Copies of this chain bind each other. A is one copy, B any other.
């Protein structure tokens, strides 16, 4: 399956959540990560993200069974090109 993660968290915790997500997904923009995952990985990432967040922080995870349902357009600069994904 495919997942997109977007976060809006206190600046004190941005570096740790960014580093954690980089180990698991592809960074695509500012506070946005994407990647192909198995269900077990998705469940683990969801659980581990809970350890990073505190009151007022927000993380949204979008998932799709397959990338074939998803289209993606970039307007402007592609901050970090994802090879062989789309």
Interface residues in chain A, defined as those with a beta carbon under 8 Å from any beta carbon in chain B: 4, 6-9, 28-32, 46, 49-50, 53, 55-65, 69-79
- Given contacts A30-B8, A31-B30, whether A70 and B76 have CB atoms under 8 Å apart is no
Name the residue of chain B whose CB is nearest to the CB of A6: B32
Name the residue of chain B whose CB is nearest to the CB of A63: B71
- Kindly list chain B residues whose C-beta atoms are within 8 Å of the C-beta of A62: 4, 62, 70-72
- Kindly list chain B residues whose C-beta atoms are within 8 Å of the C-beta of A9: 76
- Given contacts A46-B73, A50-B75, A69-B65, whether A60 and B8 have CB atoms under 8 Å apart is no
A76 and B59 contacting across the interface, CB-CB below 8 Å: yes
Give the residue of B61, B63, B74 whose beta carbon is less than 8 angstroms from that of A59: B74
